[in-house]
């Protein structure tokens, strides 16, 4: 488990949130699956709900506005020391600004962008709220990866914006691992393919997907089914752990994963 008490370095995934058509159903589903409780931030924050794990915020949840398309997904945010400056670097690298940088009360500053291939992501410059306070523990995110038609081009975009080091996955896989410059920490991946069908259906699009850590991937899949979700792929083992690709009751894709033990543990 990693306990986060302050802003993390640029480019590190530091927050997740989701818009849903039914808050009560979403709370029941994710609360049962991941052990979350929920804290309403109040009318001033549009009744944005913090997803709490052991009393600490790990993600956010909101009611999807009626005037937005019937498409839902988990949004991944990356840490930004300078939200405006990184948004400019993203457009210089061929990306697009979806929501310009804006203050969120005293909590931080955010923006939404699309990469050069169309994959959407957020930037979060923490102030009072640095982001997810617990990561790499059951009930929190442990990995994020982008599915996109051109991993090499996408990798160059993220390297230009965040300075990531790009490490091709061995074994001939169409997969690039992103490493944080300086300390070499693994922070996410990019895999080839047509993209992901988001909640609401339609054609696959380039998109980020989140892996949530769980104690037991098989038990988690049973909870997904019992809660009205669906399974895209059954639990399977890899050198990195046992995971399954699943969807919540609104069709939102994500993964549940029991990570492999750390070497030497």
Q: Per-residue pLDDT for 264 more than 60?
A: no
pLDDT of residue 236: 98
Can you give the pLDDT at residue 218?
98
Q: What is the pLDDT of residue 263?
A: 63
Yes or no: say if 77 and 121 are a contact pair by the CB < 8 Å rule: yes
For the chain, the domains span 1-265
Whether the per-residue pLDDT at 59 is higher than 60: the answer is yes
Q: Indicate if the pLDDT at residue 185 is higher than 70.
A: yes
∠222-223-225 over CA atoms, to 5°? 65
Q: What is the pLDDT of residue 67?
A: 62
> Which pLDDT belongs to residue 1?
59
Spell out the CATH class of 1-265. alpha beta
Q: What is the mean pLDDT of residues 152-171?
A: 95
Residue 265 scores a pLDDT above 70 = no
Give me the chain's average pLDDT, please.
94
Written as one string, the DSSP assignment of the chain is: -EE--SPPPTTSEEEEEEEES-HHHHHHHHHHHH--EEEE--GGGTT-EEEEETTEEEEEEEEPPTTS-S-B-EEEEEE-SSHHHHHHHHHHTT-EEEEEEEEETTTEEEEEEE-TTS-EEEEEEESS--S-SEESSTTSEEEEEEEES-HHHHHHHHHHHH--EEEEPSSS-SEEEEE-TTT--EEEEEEESS-B--BT--S-B-EEEEEEE-S-HHHHHHHHHHTT-EEEEEEEEETTEEEEEEE-TT--EEEEEEEPPPTT-
Q: Taking residues 26-45, what's their average pLDDT?
A: 95
Query: In the predicted model, is pLDDT for residue 88 greater than 90?
Result: yes
* pLDDT reading at 70 higher than 90: no
Q: How confident is the model at residue 71 (pLDDT cuts 50, 70, 90)?
A: confident
Say whether pLDDT at 73 is over 80.
Answer: yes
According to the per-residue pLDDT averaged within each range, which of 62-66, 68-72, 197-201 is highest? Answer: 197-201
Q: Is the pLDDT of residue 66 over 80?
A: no
Q: What is the pLDDT of residues 210-253, one digit of tens each?
A: 999 999 999 999 999 999 999 999 999 999 999 999 999 999 99
| pLDDT, position 171 | 80
Predicted TM-score (pTM) of the model is 0.95
């Amino acid at each position: 488990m990693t306990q986060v008490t302050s802003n993390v370095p640029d480019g590190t995934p530091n927050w997740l949130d989701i818009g849903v058509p039914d808050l009560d159903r979403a709370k029941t589903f994710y609360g049962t699956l991941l052990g979350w409780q929920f804290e309403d931030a109040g009318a001033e924050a549009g009744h944005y709900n913090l997803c709490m794990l052991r009393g600490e915020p790990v993600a956010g949840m909101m009611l999807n506005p009626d005037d937005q398309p019937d498409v839902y997904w988990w949004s991944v945010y990356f840490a930004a020391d300078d939200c405006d400056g990184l948004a400019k670097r993203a457009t210089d690298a061929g990306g697009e600004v979806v929501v310009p940088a804006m203050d969120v009360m005293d909590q931080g500053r955010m923006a939404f962008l699309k990469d050069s291939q169309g994959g959407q992501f957020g930037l979060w410059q923490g102030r009072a709220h640095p982001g997810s306070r617990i990561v790499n523990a059951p009930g929190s995110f442990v990995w994020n990866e982008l599915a996109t038609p051109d991993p090499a081009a996408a990798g160059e975009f993220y390297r230009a914006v965040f300075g990531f080091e790009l490490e091709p996955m061995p074994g001939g896989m169409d997969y690039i691992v992103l490493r944080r410059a300086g300390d070499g920490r693994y922070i996410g991946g990019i895999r080839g393919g047509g993209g992901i069908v988001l909640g609401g259906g339609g054609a696959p699009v380039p998109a980020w997907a989140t892996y949530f850590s769980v104690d037991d991937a098989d038990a988690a899949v049973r909870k997904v089914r019992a809660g009205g979700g669906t399974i895209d792929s059954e639990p399977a083992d890899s050198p990195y752990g046992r995971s399954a690709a699943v969807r919540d009751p609104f069709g939102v894709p994500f993964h549940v994963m029991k990570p492999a033990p750390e070497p030497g543990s």
